[in-house]
Structure 1
Amino acid sequence: MAYVPGAALLAALVVGCSAGTGTETPAADSRPGDPTASAAPAGKYRTLPEPCRSIAHSTLKDLLPGIAELPEDQQEKAYAGTAAVTYDTDRRVGCAWKAEAPDSSHSLSLDFERVVSYDTSVSDDDRAGEVYGTKEAAAHLPSSASDSPSVSPSDSPSDSSSPSGSAPSDGETGKESDGKSDDGAAGATEDLQPRVLDNLGDAAFLDDLLIRAGSSAQHRTVSVVFRTSNVIVTVQYTEQPALSTELPDSKELQEKAQALARKLVDKFSE
C-alpha cells in the first residue's frame, strides 16, 4: 500500500467535499444574493408557448374572415402569421395576423410576456402583478371599473336597443387622447365600456378604442390583457370597415377577443 503524506491526504479530502455531486446547476432566471437565504418563490412558467401556433385555424378563420377568400396557396401563409422580433424568446414572444375582405379588414396580434423578479424578496408572481398593474393604469379605465366590483358582459343587463357598433359617449368614458376616442354614439350599454374582467386568469381588463385617422378612416381596436401567474398576455383585435360611414361592431369584437383570451388561459393551464 502506497504511503500518502498527511498533508496530501487532507487536501484530497477537502477537494472531494467541496466538489459536491455536480447535479445542481444554476437556473437561467436565478436571482442574485445569498444562496442560503430563503428567496421568494419563482413563477409557474419557465418558458413561453409559440404564439404563432397558439390559435387553431378554425378560430383564425372566424376572427379573420378575409382568409377564407384568399387563394388556397396563400391561406397557409396567412394562417402562419408573422412572428414578432424579440431578443429573448424565453421572456417575450408575439405574433400578428391580417386579412382583408371586400367589406372590411381585420388584424389580430398576441403578446406573451414572462416576468421574472430579480429581487429575492419579491416573487415572480408579485412582480408580474406590478407589471400588469402598470398596464391597467395606462389604459385609463373608467373610474367605475376600478372603484367598484367589475361586471362581465354576460352578467350585465344589456340594452338591445343600442345600435350595433356603438360605444360609450365622451361623458360616459372620458377616454380621448392622442387621436383616439370613442364614437360618441348615444345609448351605449354599460357592459361595452372598457373595464376590469372577472374570471379570466388572475387579473384581466378590456380596452375598446375607436381610432380616427384623418377625416374619414377609422377602425376599432379591442384589447384584452390578462395575467396568469408570472405571464402577461395581450390580445389585440382590430376591424376597419371598407366604408368610412360604417362603425365596427364593438360588441362582436369584444366577445371574440374575450373568447380567444379564455382559450389562451386554458392553453396555459394544460
Structure 2
Amino acid sequence: MPGIALLAVLAAGAAGCSGGTAEGDSALDAKPGETAAPAAQPGKYRTLPEPCRSVDRAQLKAMLPGAAALPEDQQQKLFAGEPAVTYDTDRRIGCRWKAESPDSAHQLVVDFERVVSYDTAVSDDDRAQAVYTELQDAADLPAPRTTAPETPPATPPASGTGTPSQTAGPSAPTAPPATGASDSPSGSGTPAAPHPEELQPRTLAGLGDAAFLDDVLTKAGTASAQDRTVSIVFRTSNVIVRITYGEQPGRTDQAPDSATLQDRAQALARKLAEQFSSSE
C-alpha cells in the first residue's frame, strides 16, 4: 500500500509539471491583452505574362509604321521583339521593338514588374501602390487646371433711360487662353505651338487601379531633329506596367504628333490591362 501511494504522488507531480510547461509556453507567445496580427494579403498576380507576346501583330503594325516596308522575313524578326535583359524574370521582364523608315523611326518598350512586399504588415498591393506613387511623383505632372466660372453678361439698360447709345465698332480679336507648358524642345529657347490642354501629361481614369501619362519632346542628339516620347504607367493589383513609345521624324523641321502617339499608347495600355484582368 505505501508503494501504491508513492506512485500516485509521483504521477500527480509529473502531470502538474507537464501542465505548467504548456501554460508557460503560451504565456511567452502572446502578451496579455494582445492578439497576433494577421499577415498582409499577398498580391493577386503570382506570375507575369510573356511581354514579347503581349502585343499582337496588328497593334505592332499600327505603332511601328516603318515595318510595313520591310521584307516579310525582316518583319517577322522585328515583330518578335527583343527581350529585356533581367536577372529575375519572376519579378520583372520587358520587350523592345524598333522600326525605321525614311520618314520616321519608332520605338516601343513594354515592361512588367511584379511587386512583392517583404513586410508582413504591408500587402503586395500597398507596396505596389507606393512604387507607383514614386514613379508618378518623379514624372512631375503639371497640376490639373481649373476653369474659372463664367461671368454673366451685363444687362443692357432699358430704352428711354437717357443712357447715350454707343456705336459698336469692329470686335478686337480675342487672345487664345493659355494652355500650360509648351512643346519646345529642351534648350531650344524657342517655344513651339501651345500644347493642347487635353494632351498635357496627366493622370488617366479607367486604366487599372491607377495610371498616368507623360509626354516629353526633346532634341535627338546634336541634330535639330525632335524626338517625342509618350510614357504610360499603370498599376493593376501588385503589377506595375510601363509603356514607352517614341518617334523621331526623318525631317528636322517636323515634330512628332502628340495626339497620334498618345492615342496609340493608350490603345495598347487598355489591351494590356484587359489581358491582366482576363488572367485573374
Flag whether TM exceeds 0.5 (same fold): yes
Larger CA Rg, structure 1 vs 2:
2
Aligned partner (choices 168, 181, 186) of residue 193 of structure 2:
186
Judged with a 3 Å threshold, the aligned counterparts in structure 2 of structure 1 residues 88 and 113 are, in CA distance, closer, same or farther, namely: same
Structure 2 residue 63 is matched with structure 1 residue 55: no
CA deviations 1:177-203 (Å, max 9, x no partner) are 9x5889833343211100011110000
Letter in 2 for 1:104: S
On the 8 A contact 1:183/1:210 being kept in 2, the answer is no
Partner of 1:214: 222
Q: Deviations over 1:220-270 (max 9, x none)?
A: 000000000000000010010000100100000001101100000000011
Q: Which whole-Å CA distance do the structure 2 matches of 1:134 and 1:49 have between them?
A: 24
Confirm or deny: 8 A CA contact 1:91 1:113 kept in the other structure.
yes
Q: Which residue of 1 aligns with 2:104?
A: 104
Of residues 248, 255, 264, the one that matches 1:247 is 255
Q: Equivalent residue for 1:202?
A: 209
Kindly state the Cα deviation for residue 216 of structure 1 after the two structures are TM-superposed.
0.8
CA distance in 2, matches of 1:91, 1:175: 36
- Contact 2:183 2:195 (8 Å CA) reproduced: no
Instruction: Tell me what 1:236 maps to.
Output: 244
Structure 2 residue identity aligned to 1:77: K
Identity across aligned pairs (percent)? 60
Supply the distance in 1 between the matched residues of 2:132 and 2:113 (Cα, whole angstroms).
10
Match of 1:120 in 2: 120
d(CA) in 2 for partners of 1:80, 1:125: 31
| Compared CA separation, residues 54 and 251, structure 1 to 2 (3 A) | same
CA distance in 2: counterparts of 1:55 and 1:182, whole angstroms: 38
Aligned partner letter, 2:135: K
SS at structure 1 position matched to 2:136: helix
Tell me which amino acid in the other structure corresponds to 1:189: P
Equivalent residues of 1:182, 1:209 under 8 A apart: no
Partner of 2:30: none
Tell me the distance in 2 between the aligned counterparts of 1:174 and 1:89.
39
Determine if contact 1:224/1:235 at 8 Å carries over to the other structure. yes
Secondary structure of the 1:225 match is strand
- Aligned-residue CA RMSD in angstroms? 2.4
Q: 1:225 aligns with which of 233, 238, 244?
A: 233
Closer, same or farther: CA 144–66 of 1 in aligned 2, 3 Å: same
Following superposition of structure 1 onto structure 2, how do residues 20-99 of structure 1 map, counting pairs within 5 Å? 38-99=38-99
- In structure 1, what is the Cα distance between the partners aligned to 2:245 and 2:113? 18
Decide which moves more: 106-115 or 206-215: 206-215
Counterpart CA distance in 2 for 1:115 and 1:50 is 16
Shift, 1:73, TM fit: 1.3
Q: Could you tell me which amino acid in structure 1 is paired with residue 209 of structure 2?
A: D
Secondary structure of 1:144 counterpart: coil
What is aligned with 1:20? none
